Amino acid sequence: MRDKAGGEFRRCFNKNKCIFVGVPRVGSESIFLALGDEYIKKREYHDYRFYQKIDPSRFDQYFKFAFVRHPLDRLFSAYQYLRHSGDHSQSHKALSEELRQYPTFDAFVLNGLTEEKFKSHSLFTPQSHFIVDDNDRVIMDYVGRFENFEENLSHVLSHLGIKQGRMHNKRWLTSRSVKCDESTVNIIRKHYSRDFDNFNYE
């Protein structure tokens, strides 16, 4: 189903009667592939409103799910990803160059995170933007956690009647211990306060 703006439901969504709202740096690639979606090197990420606009009826009927990750861990993952040029597109390479002026994660959070070029990028957009409405209501039937990725994904696939195959890039689906200054943590907690509150992270 395609709307006038050019948006469309993925084939795997219609086939499995579901909508997966992917959030960058939360294992989305593995989930898309588990749903039977083809590999896409430069994947676009859309919030729930995008799919709701295309077909409100199917949006209401389909099983809607997403995965979230501890905000600090996700931010560090995005920072590391861009340090290595992200998906190697021109836009990511340009942003990577901008990132190089911040030699450490602490320096980036303290001095760069709130700059518009970073703040407005999907890699750094709060997860709540993708799956939570303006009244802080989660618009999903199920929200899995990156920290319990395999177990939660198995639950989703079982619900959809999909046999789970080999996970793509499984080696990346692990949370890392991030060491940073207290002032850095305080800024992250403030910047991603909705994520901490909406998804009960501490």
Distance separating alpha carbons of residues 20 and 155, to the nearest angstrom = 14
Q: What are 149-160's pLDDT values in tens digits?
A: 999 999 999 999
Which pairs from 9-14 meet CB under 8 Å and 24+ separation? 9/51, 9/54, 9/55, 9/58, 10/35, 10/37, 11/36, 11/37, 12/36, 12/37, 13/51, 13/62, 14/58
Mean pLDDT of 7-33: 91
Whether the predicted pLDDT of 31 surpasses 60? yes
pLDDT at 40: 63
Q: Which is more confident, 9 or 167?
A: 9
Q: Which is more confident, 170 or 68?
A: 68
The mean-pLDDT minimum among 61-75, 117-131, 138-152, 175-189 falls in 175-189
Average pLDDT, the chain: 87
Q: Measured between alpha carbons, how far is residue 139 from residues 33, 63, 196 in Å? A: 23, 11, 17
pLDDT at 2: 41
* Cβ 20 vs Cβ 35: under 8 Å: yes
Q: What are 123-146's pLDDT values in tens digits?
A: 999 999 999 999 999 999 999 999
Whether the predicted pLDDT of 148 surpasses 70? yes
Q: What are 43-68's pLDDT values in tens digits?
A: 688 999 999 999 999 999 999 999 99
Q: pTM of the predicted model, to two decimals?
A: 0.89
Residue 163 pLDDT class (50, 70, 90 cuts): confident
Residue 144 bridge partners (DSSP)? 67
In the chain, domain spans: 11-198
Whether the predicted pLDDT of 176 surpasses 90? no
The mean-pLDDT minimum among 64-68, 146-150, 165-169, 196-200 falls in 165-169
Residue 19 bridge partners (DSSP)? 64
Q: Which is more confident, 87 or 56?
A: 56
Residue 66 has φ and ψ, to the nearest 5°, of: -155, 170
Strand, coil or helix: what is 202?
A: coil
* Stretch (H or E) spanning 2: none
pLDDT at 86: 74
